Amino acid sequence: MEYHNPVLLKETVDGLNIRPDGVYVDVTFGGGGHSREILSRLGESGKLYAFDQDKDALENEIDDPRFVLIHQNFRLMKRFLRFYGHKTVDGILGDFGVSSHQFDVPERGFSTRFEADLDMRMDRNSNFSAYNVVNKYEESQLRDVLFNYGELRSAAAMARVIVSAREEAKIKTSSQLKAVLRRFLPAHRENKILAQIYQAIRIEVNQELEALKEFLLQTDEVLETGGRLSLISYHSLEDRLVKRYIRNGLFEGEPEKDVFGRVEVPFKAVGRFIIPSEEEIKNNNRARSAKLRIAEKL
């Protein structure tokens, strides 16, 4: 089984505008596809640091003296780069979301296709899983998770049904969760709504949006002037944060203007966003929702 087929491989690495002697970071190592492409463009004095919190990804470590794989969440990027002696780097690549491997291993619980325990942990050392969200959150918390992260109109009713059902028996598996929410899953839209439910719970389990915000806020300090960000998002919640941060250096609102009406922002967008070609989507269906944004540090 292929671990992960890298999305927008050439476009994402091209976006880094790599210097052979530069220092680069791949904050979502996964199967190592993007990292290998970066290394192929680096000279002997170049350096690449990669992050991945999923221990399964460690099996794909690259044997190269220019490469260091760090088994941590990318929200700790600045801390670990400083540990390795780098206050600044020349480019940062991120391919967010769930890897093909995580989707394809049934027991990880990420995919709606398989029967599995409610898990969805990207960091398997964590004690907090989808089971905790479904069985221990208060109704109002569940409603907010489903509405804010799954953008589900029926979030309040779904939360109410889950809380009622778990009073009879704990909801432990994907099939049990599906049975509890059956009334919200009309046949013609079942897969789409289930995907939204899973996305919401997964984002909460892994604190994905909080981690993304923490990471983005570090990029201004970590990138050299002229350094590049090359970031792939797969859903509107992620992409909105990336787009707003690149545009304004903020996640909401507008930046303050000085007395001359000028705005200081940390980045400038490089071109418009990039989406995969029809050919790439045909060869890799998971690329269909990908959106790449490239920015340069001012």
Position 4 pLDDT exceeds 80: no
What is the model's pLDDT at position 103? 81
What is the model's pLDDT at position 1? 42
Mean of the pLDDT values across residues 34-61? 97
pLDDT in tens, 219-260: 999 999 999 999 999 999 999 999 999 999 999 988 888 888
- Laid out side by side, the sheet with 47-51 consists of 67-70, 47-51, 23-26, 89-95, 223-233, 291-297, 267-269
Position 107 pLDDT exceeds 90: no
| pTM score of the predicted model | 0.93
The span from the CA of 210 to the CA of 178, in Å, is 27
Position 195 pLDDT exceeds 70: yes
Mean of the pLDDT values across residues 137-150? 98
In 137-175, which positions are buried (b, 16+ CB within 10 angstroms) versus exposed (e)?
beeeebbbbbbebbebebbbebbebbbebbeeeebebbe
Phi, psi for 94 (deg, rounded to 5): -140, 135
The span from the CA of 155 to the CA of 103, in Å, is 24
Domains of the chain in start order, with CATH, are 9-100+208-297 (3.40.50.150), 105-206 (1.10.150.170)
Rg (CA), the chain: 20
Average pLDDT along the chain: 95
**DSSP label of 79:** H
Question: Which residues share a beta bridge with 93?
Answer: 26, 230
What is the model's pLDDT at position 3? 64
Q: Which two tokens stand for residue 215?
A: 């990471």
Q: Which two tokens stand for residue 59?
A: 């099996």
Three-state DSSP class for 47?
A: strand
The span from the CA of 252 to the CA of 254, in Å, is 7
Q: Phi-psi bin for 169: left (phi > 0), alpha (psi -120 to 50), beta?
A: beta
Asked whether the CA dihedral 239, 62, 205, 200 is positive or negative, the reply is positive
The span from the CA of 268 to the CA of 255, in Å, is 14
User: pLDDT band at 99, cuts 50/70/90?
Assistant: confident
67-70 vs 223-233, strand pairing mode: unpaired
